[in-house]
């Protein structure tokens, strides 16, 4: 599995000078166990210090655009620029060490998508209580509304086979926070095997915060996924249009 090319896609927004040492660290950790890889950073709007600092790291593919479009859009854009057989999405905040990808690889031998799960029984967390509560509430909500049978969809580390994303990515609509759950929902609806693997998270107080507005958008976007699937049949129609052309 390590012989296959890995594409590491990192969305970033207003990370500033922090992004440069972070990318160097990711590059160092990945090169220790994967010989064939590419690192793609997508600066999600405002081509400023984040873009300039990322450009200073050798061997990093840096892409960006001027308008902030959200995490989901950035990951779709990054995937369109990737060439790897296996794709991983990493958050830019550094809360999850890129070296943990090594732990996810064995699970990929019997699955199509591996999610680093905060609620895996073998995971270890240094994680604020409030975020634990919010995460659990959202997990119960997605299970109720979408039937997604996963304990965690939102962690910032995943391994996915390219052929899975080639089917799912054209269908994904959510551009911002509910991107991850839409991805998992579509993967399960297509019959792909999605499994969870243990991770270690040492939450940094400098990490991203979750505000009331973000929570509201996530819940509304999740309801919209069910509406598109069950009422509009959007996903089904989009898939038929792309795969069964006359």
> What's the CATH number where 140 sits?
3.90.550.10
Residue 45 phi/psi, 5-degree rounding, is 95, 150
Cα→Cα distances 97→61, 79, 161, 229, 237, Å = 20, 21, 21, 35, 39
Report the pLDDT value the prediction gives residue 154, as an integer from 0 to 100. 86
Residue 188 domain-assigned (yes or no): yes
The pTM score is 0.91
Check: CB of residue 155 under 8 Å from CB of residue 117.
yes
* pLDDT tens series, the chain, 246 aa: 678 999 999 999 888 888 999 999 999 999 999 999 999 999 998 777 889 999 999 999 999 998 999 989 999 999 999 999 999 999 888 788 999 999 999 999 999 999 999 999 999 988 778 888 888 899 999 999 999 999 999 888 999 999 999 999 999 999 887 999 999 999 999 999 999 999 998 775 444 556 778 788 899 999 999 999 999 999 999 999 988 876
Residue 156 domain-assigned (yes or no): yes
Q: DSSP letters along 180-207, please?
A: HHHHHHHHHHTT--EEEEE-EEE--TTS
Residue 1 domain-assigned (yes or no): no
Residue 68 domain-assigned (yes or no): yes
Number of structural domains the chain divides into: 1
- Structural domain span for residue 35: 6-243
Residue 167 domain-assigned (yes or no): yes
Residue 42 domain-assigned (yes or no): yes
Instruction: Give the list of residues 6+ apart from residue 168 with CB closer than 8 angstroms, or none.
Output: 183, 186, 187, 190
Check: CB of residue 146 under 8 Å from CB of residue 228.
no
**Exposed, middle or buried: residue 196 (CB in 10 Å: 0-12, 13-18, 19+)?**
buried
Check: CB of residue 23 under 8 Å from CB of residue 54.
yes
Residue 90 domain-assigned (yes or no): yes
Residue 140 domain-assigned (yes or no): yes
């Amino acid at each position: 599995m390590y012989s296959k090319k890995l594409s590491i896609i990192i969305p970033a927004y207003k990370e500033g000078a922090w992004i440069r040492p972070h990318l160097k660290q990711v590059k160092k950790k990945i090169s220790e166990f994967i010989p064939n890889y590419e690192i793609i950073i997508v600066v999600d709007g405002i081509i400023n210090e984040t873009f300039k600092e990322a450009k200073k790291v050798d061997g990093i593919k840096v892409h960006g655009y001027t308008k902030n479009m959200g995490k989901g859009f950035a990951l779709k854009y990054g995937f369109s620029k990737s060439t790897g057989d296996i794709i991983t999405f990493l958050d830019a905040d550094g809360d999850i060490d890129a070296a943990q990808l090594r732990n996810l690889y064995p699970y990929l031998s019997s699955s199509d998508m591996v999610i680093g799960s905060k609620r895996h029984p073998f995971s270890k967390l240094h994680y604020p209580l409030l975020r634990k509560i919010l995460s659990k509430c959202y997990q119960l909500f997605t299970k109720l509304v979408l039937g997604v049978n996963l304990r965690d969809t939102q962690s910032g580390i995943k391994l996915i086979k390219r052929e899975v994303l080639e089917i799912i990515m054209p269908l994904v609509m959510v551009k911002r926070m509910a991107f991850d759950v839409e991805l998992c929902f579509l993967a399960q609806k297509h019959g792909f095997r999605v499994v969870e693997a243990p991770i270690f998270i040492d939450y940094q107080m400098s990490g991203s915060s979750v505000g009331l507005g973000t929570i509201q958008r996530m819940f509304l976007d999740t309801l919209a996924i069910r509406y598109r699937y069950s009422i509009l049949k959007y996903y089904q129609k989009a898939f038929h249009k792309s795969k069964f052309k006359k």
